[in-house]
Amino acid sequence: MLRIKRVPTVVSNYQKEEEDEAVRHVSGCGKNCLKSCCIQDAKLPLYAFKTVGKKDLSLPECKEQTVAFLDSLILGEWEDRVQRGLFRYDVTACETKVIPGEYGFIAQLNEGRHLKKRPTEFRVDKVLQPFDESKFNFTKVGQEEILLQFEASNDDGEVQFFPNAPIDVENSPSFVAINVSPIEYGHVLLIPRIFECLPQRIDHTNFLLALHMAAEAGNPYFRLGYNSLGAFATINHLHFQAYYLAVPFPIEMAPIKKIAKLNGGVKISKLLNYPVRGLVFEGGNTLEELSNTVSDACICLQNNNIPYNVLISDCGRQIFLLPQCYAEKQALGEVSTELLDTQVNPAVWEISGHMVLKRKKDFDEASEANAWRLLAEVSLSEERFQEVNDLIFQAITSGKLDLISQCPEENDAVTSNPRSSMMAGSKECLVLQ
């Protein structure tokens, strides 16, 4: 069993759609929501993160021993919501185990998420869809679910914290909220510029915000994930997910082969010997350089209607980009009944190796072979993956092909150093993590 801090959870029906009229507040709509009817004079904690110059290496070393202020703030506020009973079920009661085998896939039995999670309300065959006010969105949640505001500091780049700051609706702040259907301890949502009601799609500004959150948390066990529409996002309102898991994700330990290095210092690799094909982005002279490169790749996938998932790891130093086709295969009837019966929707966490299982039978019978079989159905074929890679490289090197160096195809050298830095043009392009 995993050794991870767990706290008792008070299970509540706070999140049910139909509220008892008798318990509603007198003011506003009675739900204490984030809309104009209830938001007047509301206040929330505000964490303003430090900004750095574009020439500075902006990612601090990610250390388990240190506890960053944002890290402790998120956990403190999250545990407060536990005690107030704002979750749909008790995630701390979910059984979790590491599956024996080479990869260390993690299995969790989470029957509550299956029974009480909000259903998808939009088409799954289009990655880009307009925001629909009539569907569920995060402006409809209760203010109690919001942990804090997360913004860049205006004070010469220094970190600032205001425990009771007004909400500047006109400037559309970014919020960190609880995920009321959590997968793990500390499961939260980052909702950029919430009042702009942005659809679920990545752009440069908001992806950089997510990297800042990873860097500011400063905890190697805290990862952020993103699911596009068509890749098992369930709400078409821009958001990233994040939670704590005190073991490596299998995808973080998979071998990678470096295939390119950009002039700005960003290294691009491809996953090897892993059931889902994907790209890995690391390095960069600045946080913004890394963010822009990955954003360009994501925007390319969106514009070509290719569903994808993103995992932000190592305090923002390492980013996995994973195009997928499971929903498409489902629609075409190409997924076996055996896999469909598990009712597992392989989104970013499952693809990364944290298998959230809905049935006791699947949990009891969990094996590396079963995990691999499911994830292999998620992956693009080798031929299709190469086509998608070509599209991505055209997007990220548009007009500046001279700024990229390709690694040779030979994988002559293998190293066990997880952070080996290979210079472009070297034959040492296989990095074992």
Give the separation between CA 311 and CA 227, rounded to whole angstroms: 9
Give the separation between CA 269 and CA 287, rounded to whole angstroms: 18
Q: Report whether 352 contacts 312 (CB < 8 A).
A: no
Q: What pTM was estimated for this model as a whole? A: 0.87
Q: Provide the pLDDT for residue 174.
A: 98
Q: Provide the pLDDT for residue 415.
A: 31
Q: Which residues contact 417 (CB under 8 A, 6 or more apart)?
A: 431, 432
Give the separation between CA 242 and CA 349, rounded to whole angstroms: 10
Q: Give the rounded distance of the alpha carbon of 349 from its chain centre.
A: 8
Name the nearest CA neighbour of 94 among 187, 16, 160, 156.
187
Q: Report whether 309 contacts 348 (CB < 8 A).
A: yes
Any idea what the Cα angle at residue 212 is, between residues 210 and 218, rounded to 5°? 110
Q: Which residues contact 382 (CB under 8 A, 6 or more apart)?
A: 277
Q: Provide the pLDDT for residue 14.
A: 36
Q: Provide the pLDDT for residue 187.
A: 97
Name the nearest CA neighbour of 116 among 11, 244, 45.
11
Give the separation between CA 314 and CA 270, rounded to whole angstroms: 17
**Dihedral, CA atoms, 21, 24, 25, 27, nearest 10 degrees?**
-60
Q: Provide the pLDDT for residue 15.
A: 40
Q: Provide the pLDDT for residue 336.
A: 94
Q: Report whether 208 contacts 291 (CB < 8 A).
A: yes
Q: Which residues contact 171 (CB under 8 A, 6 or more apart)?
A: none
Give the separation between CA 295 and CA 313, rounded to whole angstroms: 16
Tokens of 4: 């991870």
The residues annotated with a catalytic role in the active site are 239
State whether residue 327 is helix, strand or coil: helix
State whether residue 122 is helix, strand or coil: coil
Give the separation between CA 353 and CA 344, rounded to whole angstroms: 13
Name the nearest CA neighbour of 389 among 257, 278, 291, 308.
278
Residue position matching structure tokens 């609706």: 169
Tokens of 67: 């506890």
Q: Provide the pLDDT for residue 85.
A: 95
Q: Provide the pLDDT for residue 23.
A: 39
Tokens of 26: 């007198």
DSSP states along 36-54:
HHHHTT-EEEEEEEPP--T
Give the separation between CA 330 and CA 106, rounded to whole angstroms: 24
Q: Which domains does the chain have, with CATH numbers?
A: 35-431 (3.30.428.70)
Q: Give the rounded distance of the alpha carbon of 351 from its chain centre.
A: 11
Q: Provide the pLDDT for residue 405.
A: 54
Query: pLDDT tens track of the chain, all 433 residues?
Result: 433 333 333 343 334 343 343 333 445 787 888 988 888 889 999 999 987 654 444 556 676 655 689 999 999 999 999 999 999 988 989 999 999 999 999 999 998 665 555 666 667 789 999 999 999 999 999 999 999 999 998 876 688 999 999 999 999 999 999 999 999 999 999 999 999 999 999 999 999 999 999 999 999 999 999 999 999 999 999 999 999 999 999 999 999 999 999 988 999 999 999 999 999 999 999 999 999 999 999 999 999 999 999 999 999 999 999 999 999 999 999 999 999 999 999 999 999 999 999 999 999 999 999 999 999 999 999 999 999 999 999 999 874 433 455 555 434 333 333 433 322 333 334 443 4
Helices then strands, counting H and E runs in the chain, come out as: 12, 18
Q: Report whether 101 contacts 194 (CB < 8 A).
A: no
